[in-house]
Amino acid sequence: MKYFIYAITLFTLLSCKKDPIKQVNTNPGGTGAIKPNGVINTQIFEVINLSYPGLEKAKALHDADKPYESVKAILEYYRSRTTVVNPSLSLINVNSSEDDKLKADYALDNNRFFVNNYYEDAVKKMPYSLGTGTINWLFKPAGADDEYQKQLHRHQWFVPQAKVYRTTKDEKYIQSWISVYKNWLEKNPMPETGTNTTTWWQLQVAERVMVQTQLFEYYKNSVNFTPEWFSEFMVQFAQHSDFLVKYPYQDGNILISQGGSLAFAGVLFPEFKNASGWMNTGFQILGTEVKKQFLDDGMHFELDLSYHIAAIADFYEVLKLAQANPLIVGNAGADFNQYLLKAAQVVMNFTYPNYFTNTASNSQYVPGFNDTRQSSWSRSVLNKNFVRYHEMFPDDKELFYMSSYGKSGTVPSSAPKAFTKSGYYVLRNGWDRLSTMLVLSNNYSNDAFAVWSHNQPDNGTFELYHKGRNFFPDAGVFAYSGTDNTDREWYRQTRVHNTMTLNSKNITTGKGKSLAVVSNGPTEVIAVENQGYSNLKHRRYVFFVNKSFFVFVDEGIGSATGTVNLNFNLCEGDTEVVLAGDKNGAYTNFSDGNNVVVRTFADETLTTVPFNGKLSYTPGVEFSRKAYGVNMVKTAGQTARYITVVYPSIQASAVQLNAVFKQAFSENGVSLEVTVDGTKYNLNCNL
């Protein structure tokens, strides 16, 4: 979840925001007349190494007791410096979009700072106001979770304003930034000891450091980037970076962001006395975490595709930084790639085939398991990442295929993919939009599904894509942890995922286990299990028959008594999705002819109970859908056994289905017969 500190007496009002006259910098690169020494923050001399090559003039002025002129000379050095390159931006081809302009101008309008996905008026893309004149840094919109406050204090909303300044040279944007940032420093001082959970939490500090490395480049030649403001900015930058060294996060994706920010701080500002310490600490963190955080099968250990993709991106940025500044970095980061190739291949294998077609803007291109924010991974954003992967691994023809939208390179394999360490499995019959693809999640969790975890209690769940439609989308994540976790906990219920429950209760453990990944002639089989409850184990077989339709065998094994529920949560469609309780299933009736029929069979009596389902592709936004549970009363000595057929068809309601077990329950495998419109299929899997 990705994404400065000294109070000074003067507070520049934001009145310029309504000034119709464009304030153009008439002295580009100028620093103005010499001012009294008292206007600068003299702590800059405690953090800058005046013996660094290029700062000879500044050192001489400092030694001559001319601190203001010395700071002016340091600023002039940075404005003309060419020995350090920030590969994350280009000052030659700055591109500020209409969206950047909208965000930049809203920031001038009653302090409407853009915080991702939170709008007072979503149609106008108008952010919430933090107050007129006085800024309320404690503001949080009604109903918002803690993520709003966290993202607010990451300052990523400063960057669009800086890009617009660079393209327009309108000084009101930098004046706004200076005024707002000064106010933030005054109202949010660095804690004397330790961190807090919002303003000075490691991720917030790390993101602010990364933002500051960009803002400095965009603004440094402005007439408003004066020696006095420059001295303040640099002191705060040093304090931020020192803070990150002093308080390393314990683990996880936040630690990667922290390491990356320290690497950028140390490499891009080698003139600081502590720069080598920042850089070395950053690369040391990253060198350790790249080995720890990506599992042997390539998946990020938090088992969330959003954080997985973001983690690779963080390492990519640091690799680019090292390549652009070899004399400063040396060999640091040289071995990252050997761990990142598998990680990139995970993203490739999780991508749905509609990625290759320019489909509707609200299409989902990756599964939504756990806290994955599907809205973050648009087609263009995914492609941007695949372009990076191809850049990192130019010899990998499959990644080249992904980066080119299928126009070059080699089509990836359609063989079954098993990521057994993380517990993800992929079955597909091709890579074009008309293909079929199923992703099964049965991961291994060590955090007992705590509410703050990015991993949901949904072992055994799946998503099924067919010809451009996801027929069983994951519930998604509606909210992050906050004071009231009611909404978050609803989406974390096991029953709102496509898996088995006991008495509709959440599973208590996630210890996913792989039993088999095999091909029996034209049929591929995945078998997994999870001890979801102390007295009930869920075993699931998935047969991909002739690479055209699916048969699930679900077994509830153990001494548990009560009602075993097999839950199915379907796609959106008020009239297009039809529940058929009398047949223990459902079917769809979309006018485009892309439909499926679902039927569940068993040796015991079944009852089907519908319930109101929901799904959320974007935090704070939800949609209704139809859902149902197929229930069986289980005794202590019984194994609850189900067969479910999911069959794509143009006229799904007309398909005739039947299925029977050919043998009693066995720990060693399963055998069954499925009939589709009179054609029989004998299916078996030996464990």
Dump pLDDT digits (tens) for 295-342: 999 999 999 999 999 999 999 999 999 999 999 999 888 889 889 999
Q: Is residue 582 part of a domain?
A: yes
626: helix, coil or strand? strand
pLDDT tens-place string over residues 638-652: 999 999 999 999 999
Total domain count, the chain: 1
Distance, in Å, from the CA atom of 72 to the CA atom of 153, rounded to the nearest integer, reads: 30
Which residues, 6 or more positions from 29, have their beta carbon under 8 angstroms from its beta carbon?
A: 79, 221
Residue (of 459, 547, 471, 551) closest to 501 by Cα position:
459
Please state which of the ranges 393-402, 439-448, 626-635 shows the lowest mean pLDDT.
439-448
Instruction: List, for residues 549-567, the tens digit of each pLDDT value.
Output: 999 999 999 999 999 999 9
pLDDT for 521 equals 80
Domain interval for residue 631 = 413-686
Is 149 inside a domain boundary? no
Residue 591 in any domain: the answer is yes
Q: What share of the chain is helix, strand, coil (3-state, %, to 5)?
A: 35, 25, 45
SS3 state at 418: strand
Confidence of residue 481 (pLDDT cuts 50, 70, 90): confident
Average pLDDT of the residues of the chain = 92
Give which of 459, 465, 665 is closest to 555, Cα–Cα: 665
Q: Report pLDDT for 335.
A: 85
Is 597 within the bounds of a domain? yes
pLDDT at 12 over 60: no
Residue 462: pLDDT band (50, 70, 90) is very high
Q: Is residue 7 part of a domain?
A: no
Distance between CA 43 and CA 209 in Å, rounded? 19
Q: Which domain CATH number covers 500?
A: 2.70.98.70
What is the per-residue pLDDT for 619? 85
pLDDT attached to residue 3? 36
Eight-class DSSP state of 185: H
Paired tokens of 652: 């799904």
Q: Which of 88, 157, 100, 85 is nearest to 128 (CA)?
A: 157
Q: How far is CA 651 from the centre of its chain?
A: 38
How does residue 107 score in pLDDT terms, banded at 50, 70 and 90?
Answer: very high
Which helix (H) or strand (E) covers residue 555, if one does?
strand 549-557
Contact at 8 Å (CB) between 180 and 232? no
pLDDT of residue 452: 87
Picking from 59-73, 322-336, 493-507, which range would have the lowest pLDDT averaged per residue? 322-336
Q: Which residues of 280-318 are buried (b: 16+ CB within 10 A; e: fewer)?
A: ebbbebbbebbeebbbebbbbbbbbbbbbbbbbbbbbbb
Indicate the helix (H) or strand (E) that contains 600.
strand 595-601
Q: What is the mean pLDDT of residues 571-589?
A: 97
Report which secondary-structure segment, H or E, holds 386: helix 379-392
Global confidence as pTM: 0.89
| CA-to-CA separations, 584 to 264, 319, 499, in angstroms, rounded | 57, 54, 15
Q: What is the pLDDT of residue 292?
A: 93
Q: Residue 15 pLDDT more than 70? A: no
Residue-level pLDDT at 475: 96
Residue 119 confidence class, pLDDT cut points 50, 70, 90: very high
Q: Is 492 contained in some domain?
A: yes
Residue 242 has pLDDT above 60, yes or no: yes
Residue 489 resides in a domain: yes
**Average pLDDT for 186-200:** 95
In this predicted structure, what is the pLDDT of residue 17? 33
The pLDDT assigned to 13 comes to 29
- For residue 19, is pLDDT > 70? no
Q: Write out the catalytic residue numbers.
A: 307
* Residue 396 within a domain: no
Average pLDDT rounded to a whole number, residues 361-374: 87
- The sign of the CA dihedral 382, 383, 385, 386 is positive
Question: To which residue do tokens 């993800």 refer?
Answer: 424
- Does residue 11 carry a pLDDT above 50? no
Q: What is the pLDDT of residue 31?
A: 55
Name the band, by pLDDT with cuts 50, 70 and 90, for residue 95: confident
pLDDT-based confidence at residue 269 (cuts at 50, 70, 90): very high
Measured at the CA of 568, the angle between CA 547 and CA 563, to 5 degrees, comes to 125
